[in-house]
Amino acid sequence: MKMKKIFLYIAIAAFAVACKPELDEFVPSKGDADFSRFVSLGNSITAGYMDGALYKTGQEFAYPNILSKQFKLVGGGDFAQPVVNSEIGVLPGKMILGFKTDCAGVTALSPLLQTGTLDGSNVSYTVNNLGVPGAKSFHLLTPGYGSLNPYYKRFATNLTTSKVIDEVSKVNPSFFTLWIGNNDVLTYATSGGAMDSITNPAAYQAYMTNIIAALKANGAKGAVATIPDITSIPFFTSVPYNALVLKDINQVNALNAAYHPVNAVLQSFGLDTLAFRLGANAFVIEDPSSPLPAPYKFRQIKSTELITLTVPRDSISCKGWGSQKPIPHRYVLDNAEINAVKSAVSSYNATIASLANANGLALVDINKYFNDAKTGIYFDGIKFSSAFITGGLFSLDGVHPSSRGQAILANYFIKAINAKYNAQIPFVNINDYPGLKFP
């Protein structure tokens, strides 16, 4: 039938048009910047350190490496990393998620140490990713730092004389990212304030001024990132201050009885006494600043104070840590230390913002983004937060970002770079990056 044929033709024609509705594709552009020679300077996060190690797959997810792939869409060149040919790392410490049975016989999901062949061998080529795990601001300016740091050692031009900042000139960058300063407070903080010290903010300003001057020596443009409030990372928030849960009234009575004589002394000094009840209780911690003589330098932890992720759980569960014995100070960040960290970070960030402004650099306010993430933030259908393991932003060491956390960082850099240099660099899809693997 003729009419049927006409309909058939119309139908076929329409299908051809209909099958795929066309939308304008996004057109990337480099704006006012030149990404052909890109160098990235920073610490472990920049290097791609995650899960307690610098290992091959983690390196691939380092935000500078992710950025370099996006830069390639707008004329960026190759980006070399000091590749570690091991999934375990340069040094032992790599963690995977598994099951662990504690001293009390309770089996739970937990990060476990993964062992295997390490690779700390040197690389002979020029590297673009100058992220050095462990580096503080001034380390980038320290001659011979390669002899002190096993990561910089791998690509240092000269072990005894080179500085990390010297490696920049080998790339002769047209564009750089700089994110340094986390370790200037972190090393102090992760040791519970017991070891190391915080870099003086005035000195930090001088170091940063020099570093940026060196990076800009040949007119490079770039982006510089602020330092996050590290007290919100899982390393400090995973063990609650009141995780001493007492279920047995006899235990409660025994503890109260044991601390009864001490409480009398504490009262005479006008200090808070120790008290225990059924349910959640604040841990007992060592307090070196207590006016009492040893062995009475202890108290219950305050709700605003923090316990590190590294505190031995078995010692809490089975050896009376935090109840019969105080938790050693190296596992605790007390209020005075928290204030010292926050004050330094605040000064550093003022320095970073002012130097970015003075040097015409894009400012990536990672500190603000970390704060946004504290209570949870959605990207592309997933809720991310600072929570350990379940939050998705951090890897198993509780300090360094996960692969998706790195992708989110990359997007924040892109956002700031696009705004500063009128560029149109595409974001990456966070969901393209693997999440944590469960057993």
Partner 1 sequence: MNRKFTLLLIALFASTLVKAGGYQINIQGIKQNGMGYIGTGFTLDASSVFFNPGGMSFVKTKFSFVTGVSGVFANTTFQKIAPSVYQANTDNPLSPPLHFYGTYKINEKISVGLGVNTPYGNSLKWGDTWDGRYLITDISFHAFNIQPTVSYKFCDYFSIGAGFNYMTGTVSLSKMLPVADASGEGKSTLEGNTSNFGYSIGIMSKPTPKLGIGVTYRSKIEMKMEGGDVTFKVPAALSTNFPSGVKFDAMLPMPANLNIGISYQVNDKLLIGADLNYVFWSVYDSLVFDFTPNTSSLEDSRNPRLYEDAPVIRVGAQYQYNEKLTCRAGAYFDKSPVKDNYLNPETPSTNQIGLSLGASYKVNEKLNIDASFVYLMGLERNAIYSPANFAGTYKSVTVLPGIGISYNF
- Of the pair 7, 125, the CB lying nearest partner 1 is at 7
Output the CA–CA distances (angstroms, integers) from residue 272 to 210, 265, 267, 286, 299, in the order listed. 48, 10, 7, 14, 8
- Of the pair 19, 104, the CB lying nearest partner 1 is at 19
C-beta of 102: minimal distance to partner 1 in Å? 16
- Of the pair 80, 436, the CB lying nearest partner 1 is at 436
Task: Give the span between the Cα atoms of 330 and 347, in whole angstroms.
Answer: 25
Query: Is there binding between residue 382 and partner 1 (CB under 8 A)?
Result: yes
C-beta of 4: minimal distance to partner 1 in Å? 7
Task: Give the span between the Cα atoms of 175 and 219, in whole angstroms.
Answer: 9
Output the CA–CA distances (angstroms, integers) from residue 406 to 37, 131, 220, 235, in the order listed. 21, 14, 24, 17
Q: Figure out which of the listed residues 42, 326, 392, 405 binds partner 1, where binding follows CB under 8 A.
A: 392
Q: Figure out which of the listed residues 103, 106, 109, 278 binds partner 1, where binding follows CB under 8 A.
A: 109
C-beta of 41: minimal distance to partner 1 in Å? 24
Query: Is there binding between residue 270 and partner 1 (CB under 8 A)?
Result: no
- Of the pair 303, 437, the CB lying nearest partner 1 is at 437
At residue 37, φ and ψ (nearest 5 deg) are -130, 105
Output the CA–CA distances (angstroms, integers) from residue 374 to 45, 228, 388, 395, 415, in the order listed. 19, 11, 11, 16, 20
Instruction: Write out the binding residues for partner 1, residues 239-258 only, by CB under 8 A.
Output: none
**DSSP β-bridge partners for residue 362:** 223
Q: Figure out which of the listed residues 11, 258, 275, 318 binds partner 1, where binding follows CB under 8 A.
A: 11
Cα radius of gyration (the chain): 26
Q: Figure out which of the listed residues 24, 117, 293, 294 binds partner 1, where binding follows CB under 8 A.
A: 24
DSSP letter string, 127-156: -SEEE-TT--GGGGG-TTGGGT-TTGGGT-
Structure tokens, 126: 């020029």
Q: Figure out which of the listed residues 213, 347, 414, 422 binds partner 1, where binding follows CB under 8 A.
A: 414
Q: Figure out which of the listed residues 176, 204, 379, 433 binds partner 1, where binding follows CB under 8 A.
A: 379
Query: Is there binding between residue 419 and partner 1 (CB under 8 A)?
Result: no
- Of the pair 27, 104, the CB lying nearest partner 1 is at 27
Q: Figure out which of the listed residues 80, 83, 91, 97 binds partner 1, where binding follows CB under 8 A.
A: 97
Binding piece for partner 1, criterion CB under 8 A, among 200-208, 264-272, 348-356, 422-430: 422-430
Structure tokens, 34: 């030149």
Q: Figure out which of the listed residues 19, 104, 202, 294 binds partner 1, where binding follows CB under 8 A.
A: 19
DSSP letter string, 343-388: HHHHHHHHHHHHHHHHHT-EEE-HHHHHHHHTT-EEETTEEEBSST
Residues binding partner 1 (CB under 8 A): 1, 3-4, 7, 10-11, 14-15, 17-26, 28, 73, 97, 99, 109, 377-383, 392, 414, 418, 424-427, 429, 431-432, 434-439
